[in-house]
Structure 1
């Protein structure tokens, strides 16, 4: 046993660890049967705010409906992040396989569409405006590398931020048995504050993932 064993999925063939990503399906349907409810109104308000944010970034009028897709992506990641904060629930979003499964197909679809439909526009992205002629070969290489590593940076950012908070919670929790009563109360209060922070991180990271995906999609049109 080591500190990172918490994040290791079971090697069993019929492992139930990854089913945590599907638990949200059990929570969402009741809101559609209990209308109007606070949950449904909050959900609609969140979707309308995200729609306005994504609509500004998506410049082409042809892709206005794609805000629904990026809003769903935000909700999916956010709910997975929140589920990982509950005890004994596998944190699927703390694994690179989760982030890469979302980011790599999106990036590949953007690249295929961009180079197929807007080849000149994609070439123009590799050479920034008003750049010195001498630096153009190096800028093309840098822009190409930055474009290739985009799915990896999206996945690593999500994974690292989710692992960091969970590790801190685990480290603080393991030290509770050796503390006195007064220090234990301080530890519990600190854990509550840390869980509140992790809840905010869960929302922020899902927003960052979806907003960067929207920005990448706007560059290919």
Structure 2
């Protein structure tokens, strides 16, 4: 029973299956059998997507050393997109709508880049704290601002992802909750609106995965 609107995001609120965090592996149940035949239409779509992402990330990773990280960020994109996509199905929990999931992922990526930057490029990291041309009197203030902006990167990555996933799901829940009291014409209109919202949410799931991976790529490029 739904006690409040936000209980749909509670991983322990399901009456049928309490281990909702396992929804991350549900995608394996939806992979068509033809995917495992090479070449197949599904594998060709995946190859096209990976080639597109490689072209995009190559522009951001400006050094050959950074090119080894491309597959990491492509994997990051696929994990976030699949979790976002599976959340569009009924009765399937969306892990990325929780800060527990998105913040853990963002902290792992951010801390890895942050640690590498300060251990391998210490001088560059110190120089980056004070932009070129900063007056001497403002240098302590700029160090504080730049340090704060570096620390909150993980939070902004995770909050952006979580907020966008929650917003769409809440809107769909609010609209569908009024279905029992609507007339036939309004019910048909509501179904059309819900169909459009599902299309919008599918676009959001791709965009948010792309934004998360692109920003992580930019942070990685800055570390070198």
Q: Smaller-chain TM-score range?
A: over 0.9
Q: Which residue in the other structure is 2:11 paired with?
A: 9
Q: Can you give the 5+ residue segments of structure 2 that lack an aligned partner in the other structure?
A: none
Query: What do you get for the CA RMSD once the two structures are aligned?
Result: 1.7
Q: Can you give the 5+ residue segments of structure 1 that lack an aligned partner in the other structure?
A: none
- 1:104, distance to aligned residue in structure 2 (A): 0.5
Q: Which residue in the other structure is 1:40 paired with?
A: 43
C-alpha distance in 2 between matches for 1:127 and 1:53:
29
Matches within 5 A, 1:25-174: 25-28=28-31, 30=33, 33-174=36-177
Offset from partner CA, 1:139-196 (integer Å, 9 cap, x none): 1111100100111111111000000000000000001111111111111111111110
Tell me how many residue pairs correspond in the alignment: 220
C-alpha distance in 1 between matches for 2:33 and 2:223:
38
C-alpha distance in 2 between matches for 1:189 and 1:32:
31
C-alpha distance in 1 between matches for 2:109 and 2:92:
27
Matches within 5 A, 1:169-180: 169-180=172-183
- What is the TM-score normalised by the length of structure 1? 0.94
Aligned pair 1:213/2:216, yes or no?
A: yes
- 1:25, distance to aligned residue in structure 2 (A): 3.4
- 1:63, distance to aligned residue in structure 2 (A): 2.5
